[in-house]
Amino acid sequence: MSIGRLDEDSEGLLLLTTNGKVSFDLLSKKFEKEYYVQVDGIITAEAVEQMQNGLRINIQGTPYTTKNCKAHLIEIPNFPDRGRPIRDERHGPTSWVSITLREGKFRQVRKMTAAVGFPTLRLVRVRIGEHHLGDMQPGEVVEVDELIEDLS
């Protein structure tokens, strides 16, 4: 079973396990999930602060206030090109932000960036707990035995 999900438009780290306890624990609020997000436009410090302090968004039609999170501007990460291009610089500038949550509601990160006026163009999960995407390439699989030990 997968630990968490990535929608069709998202990329990045996906952990798989046959241990239900590991899956449940990693999905809980005990572990951080970090995303690198490319947004439309040059995101402002005020927008980043709004995301850090919690926002009012809708999750499947229900109003929801996000919990405080970690967010900060980052340099352009060195990711492989996407199979489907998002757009090019003729459409205006973009910027990147790191967002770290302990929750993960339906399309929450995308809704957060849109709520502050900077829609998500590319979303890459780079970390779950202490497990990092690192230099892995799309489709690459790495066996990790330490998951169960990490939860002890």
Catalytic amino acids?
7
The answer to whether the CB of 127 falls within 8 A of the CB of 14 is: no
* DSSP structure class, residue 146: T
CA distance 71 to 147: 26
Residue 50, both tokens = 């709004």
Nearest by Cα to 76 from 94, 91, 92, 56: 94
> Residue 22: how many CB atoms within 10 A of its CB?
17
- Tell me the CB-side half-sphere exposure of residue 127, using CA atoms within 13 A: 14
